[in-house]
């Protein structure tokens, strides 16, 4: 099988809307490495878009899924329940931020978790409004798109979107948006767009993922909590990309001294299996009536078995600490290259959630240089993802299980791609 043949078949058989970044096709993968159908090897710093914090095919995950597969693969939890769903909910309830009673419901995708968090917040408050942020990404469903603060390519041609959704700017120091600007704009929404007493929830990413790995400053998160408390609004932390060890904590909200009422999670939760969750205050989670939450595949047994193994592996292999150390190594490497790569505008992030933003000599975003770095790295066998509202940020999402040797090899290729 040749990559070029598959590209031709893909173009004929699948719609262009399912945009595909690589022109090679996966054959097999192991930890932080991937091989295509022609036998070419790649170092995977994309990890299936932040899904593989525990690497490709971690033996413990494979074993847990094989054992589950030998017993049963699907009953629909809402029809015939199984103990592992409860066990995973209990484990997440203990680990998620907040020293209050919590409950967790499982879904399939990140967007579905977001949809359900909004449903739960509306049911709990009896209010319609939701406030999100520019540059935020919350998925490709109708509500996910409405909440997403980036038009191209996510929202083009798909409106109208659900109403009562409003956006405020997210703090972005490099582009001149301060915490105060952001909070002032939010307060302005309450004057010009919606009465705060009609707002059910404010949803935000503690570190914006698709938006460019912008880290929420502590005073911003504190201000959001204070605004929510003042007006009876629920605070939703969308941890779909930040969760499960990526930021040097199990959840990014552990970096702050405030807690959200609801947390959405997906991606690395189940290490490659489709599983998402909403965890939150027990009384809020209980607001929807029986039958209001769920879905045919929600909390699929194989995915739940994989997620239980993920928690085990993160803890027994101390991957969260390792991720933070790997992140520091990457940050040091990028900082060391700054003087020789004038396009580097900022190196930012937290834990292993690190990104580099490129700009031109006049300070404007440099998406062309970003694409060049990405394609030069790919030519040498390193898979990198871009992000950012201007497409001028490279984000790093290597598995936290990556070996030192493969990490060093990846960093070497990255340096070569940056220096040309």
Ligand X SMILES: Cc1ncc(COP(=O)(O)O)c(C=O)c1O
> Closest residue (Cβ) to ligand X?
110
Question: In the complex, what is the shortest distance from the CB of residue 82 to ligand X, in angstroms, rounded to a whole number?
Answer: 23
Look at residues 107, 30, 63 and name the one whose alpha carbon lies nearest to residue 312.
63
Question: In the complex, what is the shortest distance from the CB of residue 246 to ligand X, in angstroms, rounded to a whole number?
Answer: 11
Question: In the complex, what is the shortest distance from the CB of residue 144 to ligand X, in angstroms, rounded to a whole number?
Answer: 6
Residues that bind ligand X (CB under 6 A): 49, 109-111, 114, 137-139, 205, 209-210, 238, 240-241, 266
Question: 165 has which bridge partners?
Answer: 130
The nearer residue to ligand X, 20 or 101, going by C-beta atoms, is 20
The nearer residue to ligand X, 121 or 344, going by C-beta atoms, is 121
Residues 371 and 418: their CA atoms lie apart, in Å, by 11
The nearer residue to ligand X, 110 or 272, going by C-beta atoms, is 110
Q: Which residue has tokens 């394609």?
A: 375
- In angstroms, the Cα distances linking 256 to 48, 179, 201, 206, 253 are 27, 15, 19, 9, 5
Burial of 164 (0-12, 13-18, 19+ CB in 10 A): middle
Question: In the complex, what is the shortest distance from the CB of residue 328 to ligand X, in angstroms, rounded to a whole number?
Answer: 23
Given a contact cutoff of 8 angstroms between Cβ atoms, the answer to whether 266 and 276 are in contact is: yes
The nearer residue to ligand X, 376 or 395, going by C-beta atoms, is 395
Question: In the complex, what is the shortest distance from the CB of residue 340 to ligand X, in angstroms, rounded to a whole number?
Answer: 32
Question: In the complex, what is the shortest distance from the CB of residue 336 to ligand X, in angstroms, rounded to a whole number?
Answer: 29
The nearer residue to ligand X, 240 or 311, going by C-beta atoms, is 240
The nearer residue to ligand X, 139 or 388, going by C-beta atoms, is 139
- State the pairing for strand pair 353-358/344-350: antiparallel
SS (H, E, C) 46-113: CHHHHCCCCCECCHHHHHHHHHHHHHCCCCCCCCCCCHHHHHHHHHHHHHCCCCCCEEEEEECCHHHH
The nearer residue to ligand X, 196 or 280, going by C-beta atoms, is 280
Question: In the complex, what is the shortest distance from the CB of residue 15 to ligand X, in angstroms, rounded to a whole number?
Answer: 17
User: What DSSP line would sit under 359-373, residue for residue?
Assistant: B-TTS-B-HHHHHHH
The nearer residue to ligand X, 139 or 196, going by C-beta atoms, is 139
Question: In the complex, what is the shortest distance from the CB of residue 293 to ligand X, in angstroms, rounded to a whole number?
Answer: 17
Residues 284 and 294: their CA atoms lie apart, in Å, by 16
- State the pairing for strand pair 129-133/41-44: unpaired
């Amino acid at each position: 099988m040749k990559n070029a043949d598959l590209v031709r078949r893909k173009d004929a058989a699948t719609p262009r809307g399912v945009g595909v970044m690589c022109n090679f096709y996966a054959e097999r993968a192991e930890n932080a490495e991937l091989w295509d159908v022609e036998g070419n090897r790649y170092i995977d710093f994309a990890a299936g878009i932040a899904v593989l914090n525990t690497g490709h095919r971690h033996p413990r995950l494979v074993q847990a899924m094989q054992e589950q597969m030998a017993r049963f693969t699907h009953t629909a939890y809402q029809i015939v329940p199984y103990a592992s769903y409860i066990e995973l909910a209990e484990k997440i309830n203990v680990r998620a931020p907040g020293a209050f009673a919590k409950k967790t419901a499982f879904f399939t995708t990140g967007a579905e978790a977001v949809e359900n968090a909004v449903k739960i917040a509306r049911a709990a408050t009896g209010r319609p409004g939701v406030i999100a942020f520019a540059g935020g990404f919350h998925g490709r469903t109708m509500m996910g798109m409405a909440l997403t603060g980036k038009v191209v390519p996510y929202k083009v041609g798909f409106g109208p979107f659900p109403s009562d959704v409003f956006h405020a700017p997210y703090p972005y120091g490099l582009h001149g948006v301060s915490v105060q600007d952001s909070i002032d704009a939010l307060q302005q929404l309450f004057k010009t767009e919606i009465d705060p007493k009609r707002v059910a929830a404010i949803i935000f990413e503690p570190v914006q993922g698709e938006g460019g790995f912008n880290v929420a400053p502590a005073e911003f998160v504190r201000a959001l909590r204070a605004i929510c408390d003042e007006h009876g609004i629920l605070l939703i932390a969308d941890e779909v990309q930040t969760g499960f060890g990526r930021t040097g904590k199990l959840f990014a909200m552990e970096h702050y001294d405030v807690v959200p009422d609801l947390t959405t999670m997906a991606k690395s939760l189940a290490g490659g299996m489709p599983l998402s969750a909403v965890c939150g205050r027990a009384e809020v989670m209980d607001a929807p009536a029986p039958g209001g939450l769920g879905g045919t595949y929600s909390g699929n047994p194989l995915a739940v078995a994989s997620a239980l193994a993920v928690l085990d592996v993160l803890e027994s292999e101390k991957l969260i600490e390792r991720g933070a150390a790997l992140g520091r190594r990457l940050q040091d490497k990028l900082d060391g290259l700054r003087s020789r790569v004038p396009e580097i505008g900022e190196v930012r992030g937290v834990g292993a959630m690190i990104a580099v933003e490129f700009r031109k000599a006049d300070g404007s975003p440099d998406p062309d240089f970003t694409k060049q770095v990405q394609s030069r790295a790919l030519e040498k066998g390193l898979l990198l993802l871009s992000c950012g509202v201007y497409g001028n940020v490279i984000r790093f999402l290597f598995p936290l299980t990556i070996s030192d040797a493969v990490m060093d090899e990846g960093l070497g290729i990255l340096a070569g791609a940056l220096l040309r």
